[in-house]
Amino acid sequence: MSEELAFLAATALAIVRALPITLVLSLSSAIGASMLAAVLVAAQQTRIGRPLAHVWIFVFRGTPLLLQMFMVYYGVAALGPIRHGVLWPLFRDPLFCAWLALTCCCSAYIAEVLRAALAAVPTGQIEAAKACGMGRGTRVRRVIMPQMLRLALPAYGNELVMLIKSTSLASTITVVDVTGVAQLVIAHSYRTIEVFCLAAAVYLALTAGLTALLRRIERGLAQ
């Protein structure tokens, strides 16, 4: 019994030590994907940008993230200009490759969330704003954006929760995150259930914290 407890404690410690990697990866790709999604939605409003954004979303939403990770880590890295070019120090790092794949993939989903929210802003209000003589910038800042953000928030939060869980795929390209540590411990101890449960508890705590934060923001915006 005490041996079991000692094993659980050691495993929990190892998993918590890997938490910064999961956090850094989640946070950096959430920021990267959100910024990229905003660019994509902005591009969709222009004649030249629309097909480009369309192709981007089509490709990254339509292919599995696991495949995208492998493509970045093993595929792109094998290309001569990358392998022998100035970008190699970045692509050499598995964490960067995981970040890049997550950012590209999630940007496609978040762009769709933002696009839907933009479409849900009543056209009458935009026309009214025009009639009041508001310029384009003022219109976006004072009428479109506040409503769009409020409309997008629940679905956007959903995407962030998905993103946190998706970071576990980084363990397939040698990133030693929470899932990676769990798999290492299992391979060395042949114990499965308790280790996966501990890892699952960490993700549960992360997503629960994020959900609570989002709910608070949602409530704040509703007032």
Partner 1 sequence: MIRAGAVALALVLAGCHGDALRGDVRELVIGTEGAYPPWNFTRADGSLGGFEPEYLRDLCARLHRRCRMVAMDWDGMIGALQTGKIDLIADAVQITPERAGVLAFGRPYALTTGVIATLRGSPLARLGDDGVTMDLDGKGPAFAAMTDRLRKGLAGKVIGVELSGAFDTFLTQTFADRAGPGVSIRYYRTMGERDLDLLNGRIDATLEDESYIRPLLATRDGAALVMAGPRMIGGSMGRGEALAFRPGDPGLRAQFDRVIGDTLADGTVRRLGLKWFRIDAAPGAVRR
Q: Which residues contact 185 (CB under 8 A, 6 or more apart)?
A: 11, 14, 15, 191, 195
- Least distance to partner 1 from the beta carbon of 65, Å? 17
Q: Which residues contact 50 (CB under 8 A, 6 or more apart)?
A: 43, 44
Site pattern 50..79 for partner 1 (x: CB under 8 A): ------------------------x--xx-
Q: Is the CB of 46 or the CB of 174 nearer to partner 1?
A: 174
Regarding 83 and contact with partner 1 (CB under 8 A), the answer is yes
Q: Is the CB of 92 or the CB of 165 nearer to partner 1?
A: 92
Site pattern 171..200 for partner 1 (x: CB under 8 A): -x-x-x---x--xx--xx------------
Q: Is the CB of 94 or the CB of 157 nearer to partner 1?
A: 94
Q: Is the CB of 60 or the CB of 73 nearer to partner 1?
A: 73
Distance (Å) of CA 96 to CA 20, 42, 77: 15, 26, 12
Q: How far is CA 195 from the centre of its chain?
A: 25
Q: How many residues form the binding site for partner 1 (CB under 8 A)?
A: 14
Distance (Å) of CA 62 to CA 55, 56, 57, 108, 111: 10, 10, 8, 9, 14
Asked whether the beta carbons of 199 and 19 are under 8 A apart, the reply is: no
Asked whether the beta carbons of 97 and 73 are under 8 A apart, the reply is: yes
- Torsions phi, psi of 164, nearest 5? -60, -45
- Least distance to partner 1 from the beta carbon of 66, Å? 13
Q: Is the CB of 188 or the CB of 219 nearer to partner 1?
A: 188
Q: Looking only at residues 110 through 169 of this chain, which bind partner 1 when binding is defined by CB under 8 A? A: none
Q: Footprint of partner 1 on this chain (CB under 8 A)?
A: 74, 77-78, 83, 92, 94, 172, 174, 176, 180, 183-184, 187-188
